[in-house]
Chains A and B, each alone.
Chain A
Amino acid sequence: MMGFRAVLLRDLRLAIRQSADLALVLGFFVIAASLFPFGVGPSPDTLARIAPGVIWVLALLSVMLSLDRLFQQDLADGSLEQMALSPTPLSLVVLAKCLAHWLTTGLPLIAIAPVIGILLNLPAEGYAVLLAGLALGTPSLSLIGAVGAALSLGARRAGLLIALLVLPLYIPILIFGVTAVDAVLTSVQPTAHFLYLAAILMAAIPLAPLAAAAAVRHGVEG
């Protein structure tokens, strides 16, 4: 547990001291969202209808943009190799890195999502369920993303490769996240959607770190 805490605190500290990275991701989230009123027209009804989908897709893309930060720099300066050699199990190290990634990416995205909801005229009753869905879905995005980031270690154009690996795996989370909001807006209980999101998260917490750790081990060899 000592190693888990050490990696978590270190990654948080690094993220806070390099907060420009975080600002870029949040900036992308807001600016990309503000393009939609220009693209599909400013009709409040149209915007309200697409708002949940747009917010979720952009959250997905924002998380994905920040994934290369997860392992890439640590690989380049040899830190990752040393973590792989430490007596702390590598899957625990990866889990700590995912938690730090979520706290510095997923959580700020959730905090800023209501602003985009207002921008896109999301109906008032949709906010609570949107945020709850994001809270349940974004940790899975970090965990599944870690597998993609670990697999693409050492590849040229790693960012593009991560997108190809990870985006298809994000589809179930996107579907349940968006339809939960739609359900509430059409007066249906979103319980089932939340259960699915929770199930994905419960599966990702033990499995993704194991898979990512195996990929990292492969990545630092050679």
Chain B
Amino acid sequence: MAILSAHRLTCLRGARLVFEDLSFTLDAGGALLLTGPNGSGKSSLLRLLAGLLEPFDGHLEIDGAPVASDRDGQRARIAYIGHADPVKSTLTVRETLSFWADLAGLRDRRRLDAALGALDLSVLADARGAILSSGQRRRLSLARLLVSDANIWLLDEPTVGLDTVSVRAVEAMVADHRRNGGSVVLSTHIEFTLPGGQSLDLGDYAPGAVGRVPA
């Protein structure tokens, strides 16, 4: 069944039409890889799916219900990782993750340690944010996914700044999430293994793009 579906989305930023007439459906366990040149609207689409932007036209459905109908309930279903890493320099890794877990309403504290372990942050648990490298900050951001019960992951270039080993760890995380019935939408510029995932080239939905299949 369709977890997330978009119907003829059009995105307007300022006075510029970023993409138009974009539709897709994502099933439980499904994955959608967003590709396209810079400025084609990958980040805009993810922000739109997260609810940080309103579509100029078209609409979104989560579990078959239009998004506007139960915004607060639907927020618990979605986890969004953007470009910024919300890491405070004076808080330790564990404090940061514990805060996000509380905010997501997580009660099982064992998952906190599991999340730190999964992203190889256990040894840094008591280190302050100020001394983390950019890759470590990124991993801490991604660890947030494992302390929320969201089943739709929206990842905007999750692998930026990560070494090969960490990229493999993120791939494993995503695969695990999908095995448990979760869905993923992600954008990336590097090789990212997403078995059985669909792919969407945002370039095809640029205004006036040639050869677009009418929806």
Contact = CB atoms under 8 A, between A and B. Distances in A.
A41 interface: no
Identify the interface centre among A3, A9, A82, A220: most chain B CB within 10 Å of its CB. Answer: A82
Contacts of A3: 102-103, 105
A46 interface: no
A87 B91 CA distance: 23
Interface stretch (A73-81, A162-170, A188-196): A73-81
Interface in A106-156: none
A3 B76 CA distance: 13
Contact of A85 (B53, B73, B75, B102): B75
Contacts of B90: 13-14, 17-18
Interface residues of B, number: 29
Contacts of B56: none
Nearest to A78: B84
A166 B187 CA distance: 41
B80 interface: yes
Contact of A81 (B82, B100, B103, B104): B82
B113 interface: no
Kindly state the interface size class of chain A when it binds its partner.
20 to 34
Contact of B52 (A9, A86, A221): A221
Nearest to A83: B103
A39 interface: no
B91 A14 contact: yes
A222 B83 CA distance: 13
A10 interface: yes
Contact of A86 (B13, B75, B83, B95): B75
Contacts of A222: 13, 53
A85 B84 contact: no
Given A85-B51, A85-B75, A222-B53, A77 B86 contact: yes
A83 B76 CA distance: 12
Interface string B166-191: 00000000000000000000000000
Contacts of A220: 52
Interface of A: 2-3, 5-7, 9-10, 13-14, 17-18, 74, 76-79, 81-89, 93, 220-222
26 contacts: A2-B102, A5-B102, A7-B103, A10-B91, A13-B91, A14-B91, A17-B90, A76-B84, A77-B88, A79-B88, A81-B84, A82-B80, A82-B103, A82-B144, A83-B103, A84-B52, A85-B52, A85-B78, A86-B104, A87-B72, A87-B73, A87-B75, A87-B76, A87-B104, A88-B105, A89-B72
Interface of B: 13, 50-54, 72-73, 75-76, 78, 80, 82-88, 90-91, 95, 99-100, 102-105, 144
